[in-house]
Amino acid sequence: MKVNIKYIVPFIFFIVYGCANENIDLIPPSIEILSYNPMPVDDDICSSQEPVVFQLIGGGELSFDAVFSDNEALTQYKIDIHNNFDCHGHGGGVAPSVTIPTVDNQTLDWTVLDIHDISGQSASVFKTLDVPQNVTAGNYHFHLQVIDEAGNDSPFTNFHSLKIKNPLDDVSPQISVQQPSSSNFSVNKGEAIRFIGQVSDNRSLSDGGNGVLYLAYTDLSSGNTFTTDQAFPFDENINTLYDFDFEYIVPQTLTSGSYRFSLGANDGVRNVAPFVFFEVEVN
């Protein structure tokens, strides 16, 4: 009997390959949250509504009770807390990257990177995380992650937002503008836009070290937001009022079209002022 080799070889390869892959673990571990304290709420984060947001205050705490499980074997879990001041992961923000003056009552950004080894197919964990007393106010990300021995994880599960207040000050500053006198106007490339106004607050704008006034703009055709070089940190000489008067030269390289310019400000503990917007047609 004549046997055709070209049919036998693929069949043998299929058997060997199939048997070799039977023991490969591709199933990610799971996280079951039994309780949170405080309980999360629905809240606005970076102009988007999120269903799971933890509202906290400096000196408070966030705790959770969780069960980690895997079909084979767990290896570690990680807690990651970091600031989301620039709204990363939410379409981009407008907070400027400027050097803020060092002051006596400097706030502390809450940062946690806590990694623990675990083993077995199941592990129960209760954890309490302390918020710094003089915390920098604002939005933060909270990520709880578990990994098994094969390196599997579920990177986008249990990724939530924190909204944190500083106990010394939860009042946002306010921006008032005298010029431009209209919220809708047109300007030519190379021309200057003059901004005159005042930032006011209930306490010193510099107390805490995060105070700044800044200008940004959004290209309405693309939705992309850009900061400008017009940023004015509040040093210790600034009290509850800051008068501003500056010009922004519209770049020649800017594409003609519709833009939204925005004046923003943070106070010393980083409470965010309501933005002042201008709809600008660049010719």
Strand order in the sheet with 174-179: 174-179, 192-200, 241-249
| DSSP 8-state class, residue 12 | H
Residue with tokens 């400096």: 58
Angle at 107 between CA 102 and CA 245, to 5 degrees: 55
pLDDT exceeds cutoff 90 at 7 = no
Q: What proportion of the chain, given as a percentage, has pLDDT over 90?
A: 77
| Of the candidate ranges 23-27, 33-37, 40-44, 132-136, the one whose mean pLDDT is the lowest | 23-27
| β strands within the chain, DSSP E | 30-37, 41-45, 48-57, 61-69, 74-83, 112-117, 122-130, 138-148, 159-165, 174-179, 184-187, 192-200, 212-219, 225-233, 241-249, 257-266, 276-282
The pair of structure tokens assigned to 220 is 């309405």
Q: Please indicate whether residue 95 or residue 256 has the higher confidence score (pLDDT).
A: 256
Residue with tokens 């925005």: 262
For the entire predicted model, the pTM comes to 0.84
Q: What CATH code is assigned to 174-282?
A: 2.60.40.3880
Where exactly are the structural domains of the chain?
30-165, 174-282
Q: What CATH code is assigned to 30-165?
A: 2.60.40.3880
Residue type, 249: I
**Is the link from the previous residue into 40 a cis peptide, with omega within 30 of 0?**
no
Give which of 82, 62, 45, 85 is closest to 131, Cα–Cα.
62
* Average pLDDT of the residues in 5-33: 65
- What average pLDDT does the chain have? 89
Highest mean pLDDT of the ranges 39-48, 80-89, 98-107, 149-158: 39-48
pLDDT exceeds cutoff 70 at 2 = no
Do 30-165 and 174-282 show the same overall fold? yes
pLDDT exceeds cutoff 90 at 242 = yes
Give which of 80, 100, 98 is closest to 89, Cα–Cα.
80
Q: Would you place residue 14 in the very low, low, confident or very high pLDDT band (cuts 50, 70, 90)?
A: very low
